[in-house]
């Protein structure tokens, strides 16, 4: 389950990065290009992905230790 959550967090970060790049007009080719609102939304999505990754890493590290 932890691996699934880590993949999900990574996809959120990757998607957020794409939205940021499109929002700041670095990655052209869609309706989002050049619209700064998408950069802000991408930042929020990437931050959520980082949070998911951190929580998954913390949860996983506690399970590896014997009680």
> Which tens digits make up the pLDDT trace of 2-20?
899 999 999 999 999 999 9
With respect to residue 43, please indicate whether it lies within any of the assigned structural domains: yes
Q: What's the structural domain count of the chain?
A: 1
Q: What are the structure tokens assigned to 35, written together?
A: 């619209």
With respect to residue 18, please indicate whether it lies within any of the assigned structural domains: yes
With respect to residue 46, please indicate whether it lies within any of the assigned structural domains: yes
Phi, psi (deg, nearest 5) at residue 24: -95, 15
Model pTM score: 0.83
With bands split at pLDDT 50, 70 and 90, how would you rate the model's confidence at 1?
Answer: confident
Q: Which residue has the tokens 């790049």?
A: 21
With respect to residue 67, please indicate whether it lies within any of the assigned structural domains: no
Range of the domain at 51: 2-61
**Cβ atoms 44, 15 nearer than 8 A:** no
Q: What is the mean pLDDT of residues 29-52?
A: 95
CA distance between the termini of the chain: 20
Asked if pLDDT for residue 66 goes beyond 60, the answer is no
């Amino acid at each position: 389950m932890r691996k699934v959550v880590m993949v999900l967090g990574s996809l959120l970060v990757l998607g957020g990065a794409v939205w940021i790049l499109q929002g700041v007009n670095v990655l052209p080719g869609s309706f989002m290009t050049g619209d700064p609102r998408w950069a802000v939304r991408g930042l929020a999505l990437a931050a959520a992905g980082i949070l998911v990754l951190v929580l998954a890493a913390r949860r996983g590290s506690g399970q590896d230790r014997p009680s």
